[in-house]
Homo-oligomer: A and B are copies of this chain.
Amino acid sequence: MTQGAEANNDHLVQSSDPEHPANLIPDLCRKFYNWGWVTGTGGGTSIRRGDHIFIAPSGVQKELIQPHNIFVLEFPTPKYPPSDRKYIRKPLSLKPSACTPLFLAAFEQGAGCCIHTHSQWAVLVTLLVEREKGPGGCFEISNIEQIKGIPRGKGKGMMGFFDTLRIPIIENTAHEEDLTESLEKAMVEYPDTYAVLVKRHGIYVWGDDVAKAKTQCESLDYLFQLAVEMHKLGIPWTK
């Protein structure tokens, strides 16, 4: 607890409730680290509770995050420029996540939690789609039970076994913040999606709440891993 300098609005991240966002984020990040989703400070996680956005810091070992490392933003808040964002808690020694405007884009759509991973399975499917179909496009898979773990769209229930799941893929940019525009464009083109793949980079997944964002992220990662193995075995992703 040598973080005395982070004492601004500390009460916002101090809670004995394990379900409090400041406790959930460290817990989730430890799990994501073990899955290989946030290797070497990559990736990130953010939770909205009422008009507060809780965000993991940038450039730190994700499996070691503590509640007092968490940033808190007022919501809504401007996405740009960063200096206009209304931080109500800012750990002085840390930098806010470069994913912040992307998380905010998801929260503006009504999400309660947004997860960003560098999962290798996600990266590999973007490489396979790029080679097969060129730039743009989306990842498609059908006739796999785990598809039922993904919602059909806001308030539309879950997908069915015979449905084709489509996850849009956007081009990567030099700076993570610059992904925001194309992420929002993908959200407009695919209004029912709860995830956007970033080519050669990873994925953004969101959900109505923490449990939904996490389990949807797991189901998608399962499907990406299965798709890579299916490709190795020469089995097509759609029927």
Q: Interface residues, chain A, CB within 8 Å of chain B?
A: 36, 39-42, 60-61, 118, 120, 123-124, 127-128, 131, 143-146, 149, 160-162, 172-174, 198, 200-202, 211, 214-219, 221-222, 225-226, 228-235
Residue on B nearest A33 in the bound complex, by CB: B218
Q: Is B231 touching A233 in the complex (CB atoms < 8 A)?
A: yes
* Copies of chain A in the complex: 4
Report Cα–Cα, A85/B174, bound state, in Å: 46
Task: Kindly list chain B residues whose C-beta atoms are within 8 Å of the C-beta of A219.
Answer: 39-42
With A118-B146, A144-B200, A145-B200 known as contacts, the answer to whether A41 contacts B215 (CB < 8 A) is yes
Q: Is B42 touching A149 in the complex (CB atoms < 8 A)?
A: yes
Q: Is B118 touching A222 in the complex (CB atoms < 8 A)?
A: yes
With A124-B230, A230-B124 known as contacts, the answer to whether A174 contacts B162 (CB < 8 A) is yes
Q: Is B233 touching A145 in the complex (CB atoms < 8 A)?
A: no
